[in-house]
Amino acid sequence: MSWKQWKMNKFVDYPTLVQPFYVISITLLSLLLPLSFLLLARLSSAHYLLSLASISPPKSFLFTVFLNTNPNLLHALVFMVSFAALIQALIGRISLIIEHPGPIFRPRVHAAWIFLCTLQVCVGLGIEVTIKAGVDGAGFGDGRSMLSKLVFFLGLHETMIHWARTIVRPVVDDTIFGGAREERLTERWALAGCFGALSLWRLRDEVESLVVVVEVKRQMMMNVGLGDYLGLWLYYLTVAIGMARIIKVIMWVCMNVFSRRVIENHDYNVELIKDEDSKV
């Protein structure tokens, strides 16, 4: 039921609460994507720690299921979003399920609902299990350069923006307003601020384990699992998105500067020709 229908039925009599609720919903659901990277990093760290002879797995059924079943579904969902974001960064706008803003088609909204709910269940349950088991990836990313970290987080931010615009916004817009709605600057700033806070709080200390764990296992001649390779591939895919974004920004700046100089030179030549004509 859309927000307009709720308003007509007088279930909600406070329209001033609509915008804050909308921004909070968009922000929290959009953060599912960086949280999925956090979960994958923790699972990679857990596999590494449990592979050591002196470490025994926690006695938890949910943790054992999450660890031994190799969450291919989570890898597949994150890969789909990341790959779509990479294509968008390289060749322009592309939609994973639905192009937004624009008309919202019910079957595609239902597909977006399924995609969103599946990722939410995987991430929510996985994060809760890792917290109870005391698993984190802190300490694995100390050897990475600051530049590589910045490029990765730029790529992760771009991937999150694509996730928010193609999956989250169509679902929230259809639920609250019953149709598409233009994106506002306050919503962008709120999402960017929350992403920055999450990065400083957890991501910067744990997400690097997607790369470092594989490197450590290779150095120690340990068996590298499929989940480790998938996490490594997702990390560098996100770095590629960040690099593509940086290159596009540099090209945009260069083209603007070049076009401005061409216009200035053209105006200067026109003035010279006018001066010469006036002298004649």
pLDDT tens column, 72-126: 788 888 988 888 888 888 776 545 554 454 555 566 788 888 888 888 888 888 8
pLDDT tens column, 227-258: 788 888 999 999 999 998 888 888 878 887 77
In a domain, 262, yes or no: no
pLDDT tens column, 166-210: 889 888 888 887 777 888 888 889 999 999 999 888 888 888 888
pLDDT tens column, 214-231: 888 888 777 777 778 888
Residue with more model confidence, 214 or 164: 164
CA pair distance 46, 248, nearest whole angstrom = 37
In a domain, 222, yes or no: yes
| Residue 18: other Cβ atoms inside 10 A | 15
> Which residue segment(s) compose the domain that 245 sits in?
3-252
Domain count, the chain: 1
CA pair distance 152, 134, nearest whole angstrom = 26
Assess whether pLDDT exceeds 60 at residue 271. no
Alpha helices in the chain (DSSP H): 3-8, 18-30, 32-51, 61-68, 72-91, 106-133, 146-163, 169-176, 185-198, 204-206, 209-219, 226-279
In a domain, 266, yes or no: no
In a domain, 141, yes or no: yes
CA pair distance 277, 279, nearest whole angstrom = 5
Position 268 scores a pLDDT of 46
Assess whether pLDDT exceeds 50 at residue 270. no
In a domain, 121, yes or no: yes
Looking at residues 3-11, what average pLDDT do you find?
Answer: 49
Position 98 scores a pLDDT of 45
Q: Which of 73, 62, 50, 46 is nearest to 230 (CA)?
A: 73
In a domain, 270, yes or no: no
In a domain, 146, yes or no: yes
In a domain, 185, yes or no: yes
Backbone angles phi, psi at 48, to 5 degrees: -70, -45
Helix (H, G, I), strand (E, B) or coil at 279: helix
